[in-house]
Every structure is written in structure tokens, then in C-alpha cells.
Structure 1
Amino acid sequence: MQYRQAFVPGGTFFFTITLLERHKTLLTDNIILLKQSFHHVKQSHPFHIDAIVILPDHLHTIWTLPETDADFAMRWGLIKSTFSRGFPKDEHINKTRHSKNERGIWQRRYWEHLIRDEKDYRNHVNYIHYNPVKHGYVDKAIDWPYSSIHKFVRDGIIDQNWGYDENVDMKTFGERN
């Protein structure tokens, strides 16, 4: 079966981007470089980050692209390469990656999902904000420093105890709901 990506100009997409070596903590250890990489790409290829969480070895985010643009793949390529250039070339690079002049920092592929409606959007935002709890990094989502949950709380969209309340149904969250 051939995989097809949904290219929708002005679309809103959920992404999961992962390091090649899942035991590494490059993303949180180098959070400033990662933020600079996003900023650099957004300068020349605008997009809106609706929600984001950055964990040590992967990140989840929702983007909304400009009305006339659907090229999220180019943006991810630029973000990944900008971030990668911040490191010396001392990681293990297999023959295939070497022949394609690729670094050994990121997984080549990523999970992308076109957001379908408000419920789908809300479920993915919740998934993003709850992810540090899911992985055991914190007990309360608000305690994870690399998350857009802080903006959602500051803007009054959610309460600071969100995700810590037993009335929240965590089964509705997810990448594949």
C-alpha cells in the first residue's frame, strides 16, 4: 500500500516527530536550539503553532498552515536540518544515510494527521498537553515546562489543574482517535 499525505492548503495538522535514537534527550537538552530552529523556519515559511509539547526524544504539535500553502514537509525538513546543524557530526550514521548525506539525529518519517473537526482538534490538543504525564515525566500536565499548556492556562482556555482531575476522560485523547 502506498502512503499518501494529506496536502490541504490552510489545513490544521497534528504531527509527531521523533529522534532516531529514542534513548537520547537532545530535544529538551537543547531546547533553545530547537526553539531557534522553529523561529528561523517560521520567518521565511510562516505557520501557526496551535499547541506543542517537547519531550526529551520526541515532540507533538498542531500547526495551521497559511491559506495558500500545504507544504508542511518542507518546513519539517528545514526545522530538522537547522536543528541538526547545531551539533558536531559525531553521531553514528549508517551506510544508507551516509549515501544520502543525511544525519543520524531524526527518524526520517513522522506521523501526520489532518485535523477533521473541532472534536478532533480538542482531542489532539489534550493528547499533546497530557503526554508528559502519560510518559511519567510529571504528575500534573502543568508541571512540564516545554508545553503550550502554559499559554492555554494563561489565556483562560483551561484550568491549571487540567488533566489532574479524575473527571477528565483520558481515553478520548490520542493520535488515532
Structure 2
Amino acid sequence: MTNLYAWNTARANPVAYPNVRPARLFHPTRARRFFGLFDKPLPQQENAPIVMFEECLHRLGGWGRAKRAPSIPVVLLGLLTMTDYHHRRNYNIPGHAHELTFSCYRGYKFLQEERICQWLAESIDEARANWHFHLWAYVFMPEHVHLIVHPERAEYDIADIKKAIKSPVGSKAIRCMLKESPYWIPRITRKRGKKTERLFWQSGGGFDRNIVESKTLIKMVDYIHMNPVRKGFVEKPQEWKWSSAAWYSKVGESPVGLDPVPSGWLWI
């Protein structure tokens, strides 16, 4: 859809875009550079979709070569390809933090079991050591997980980090189901052609949001900590065991190892 918008826009507006060939817009990264959406981060507010639309329209309308206001497809292209937003593709950019969200297969509440949460905590600790990233915040919900991580090295692959965290937990849980709860096996079994697989985590890798601003980081930490409160599980974020909220509030310890956020990123 994004590439189609880019191609149609360039083809339909040869006067507005005289020096741009449609082929140059096919890659999302090129499209973002072309429309100048990397000049500064787009605003993150409660009414974010409206604010981002207006900001995007303003920036696109002010592009030096444009002879007329950008069409709606152009604006949609900008919204679809901008950074600091949920996406499935991974952008491994040095210095960025990542808010990762992944879910149990079909939304099953596997993480209600204390043992599985402990396996996940151990897997995160091991992955931190092996893949060199900092864990800044987290929450384990019954059917999904939020993590905020910050890779230490300039060269990294966030997909490898996610795999290192998720794979050991899925393998242990499925082996446990085979022995103790075999009635679960048909529910987590999926056939794709001749291939049969058992899934603990929802396929697709989940969502990965790049974070580049301290105000966005603060909002994301607050957002994930409030998950158990919004669901009605607890009255205060720090009451939820599998969360970094108590550690941030300095009223308790975290069952998962955490790293302090550098002063340049947060209010501390």
C-alpha cells in the first residue's frame, strides 16, 4: 500500500515533483528521506494521530519544490513511514531504545503461571548478558509482554534480541505442556502446508517501536507500568509483581534485573 501511494503520487504530479522518479520512492527509507520526515521527531501526545497528521501535513506542504499542497496519498505515505511509531519491521539504529511488545499465541494467558514468568525473567537476564543490551522497564501481563531495551553496541539486530528472549521460554513451556498438559497441544499446533509447528508465542515477532526522545521514553515507561491498573488487576502499578514499577518507585525489588536509565534520557 505504501509503495503504491508513492508511485501513484509521483506519477500523478510530474509538475510538483519534477526531479523524482517513481522508482526512487519505492523503498520506505527513501520515501521518508524524500519527504523530510527525519528533520525532527513528530509529537507524541494523547491525541497523537491528529497531531501527527497536522504536523506531517505542515511539513509536507512546506517542502521547497512543491508547487501545490500535497495530496492525501502523500500525507498517508508520510504517516505510514514515519519513525517513533509501532511497526513490524525492525530499524536497528545506534543510540535508539526499543519498546518491544509480544503476545502469547492466540492471546492465551500462559503468563498467568508463575513458573513461566520466572522462565521469562531468567531468559531476559541471560539475553542481556549475551546480547549486550540494557533493560529499562518491563511488565508481564497474562497474555503479553512489554519491554523497553537499549542496545549497548552500535551494531545490533533487535530481532536477534527478541529471539534470544522468547525462544528458551517457548521451548520450555511446550515441553512442559507435552508432559503435564497434553490437552493444550492441539490448541497450539498449526499446520502450514506439509509443516506442522507448535507455537507458544504469536508468530510475526510482535511490535517494535524505536524511541529517540526522553519525553517519549517517559510516556512509554508510564504506559507499560499502568497496564495492570487499566486491566483492574491492581490499584497501583507497584503492586504488580512482574513489573519494574516497584523498582522505579523504590518501594520494592524487581524479579528481573534492571539497568538505570542514563541521566541524558530521563528525569533522573
How many residue pairs get aligned? The number is 154
**Structure 1 CA distance for aligned equivalents of residues 193 and 155 of structure 2:** 29
Alpha-carbon offset, residue 6 of structure 1:
1.6
1:136 is the counterpart of 2:232: yes
Contact (CA 8 Å) 1:27, 1:58: kept in 2 or not?
A: no
**Residue of 56, 60, 78 corresponding to 2:164:** 78
Q: Give me the whole-angstrom Cα distance separating, in 2, the residues matched to 1:17 and 1:154.
A: 27
Seen in structure 2, the aligned counterparts of structure 1 residues 143 and 79 have a Cα distance that, compared at 3 Å, is same
| CA contact 2:189–2:199 (8 Å) conserved in 1 | yes
1:107 aligns with 2:202: yes
2:148 aligned to which of 62, 75, 79: 62
In 1, Cα distance between the equivalents of 2:123 and 2:194? Answer: 23
Is 2:246 aligned against 1:150?
yes
Q: Shift of the alpha carbon at 1:102? A: 4.5
Q: Report which of the two structures shows the higher radius of gyration computed on alpha carbons.
A: 2
Which residue, 74, 95, 115 being the options, matches 1:10? 95
Task: Return the offset for 1:113.
Answer: 0.6
TM-score (ref. length: structure 2):
0.53
Which residues of 2 match residues 37-56 of structure 1 at below 5 A? 37-56=123-142
Secondary structure, aligned partner of 1:94: strand
Q: What SS does the aligned partner of 2:106 have?
A: coil
Cα distance in 1 between the residues matched to 2:239 and 2:211: 27
* Aligned with residue 120 of structure 2, among 20, 24, 34: 34
Instruction: Give the Å deviation of 1:115.
Output: 0.6
Looking at both structures, which has the greater relative contact order when contacts are Cα pairs under 8 Å and sequence separation is at least 6? 1
**215, 219, 233: which is aligned to 1:123?**
219
TM-score by length of 1: 0.77
What percentage of residue pairs aligned between the two structures are identical?
27
Report if aligned partners of 1:10, 1:70 keep a CA contact under 8 Å in 2. no
Q: Structure 1 unaligned runs (5+)?
A: 156-177
SS at match of 2:99: strand
Structure in which a larger fraction of residues adopt helix: 2
CA RMSD of aligned residues (A): 2.2
Matched, 1:24 2:24: no
* Distance in 1 of aligned mates of 2:228 and 2:111: 16
Which residues of structure 2 form unaligned runs of 5+? 3-87, 252-268
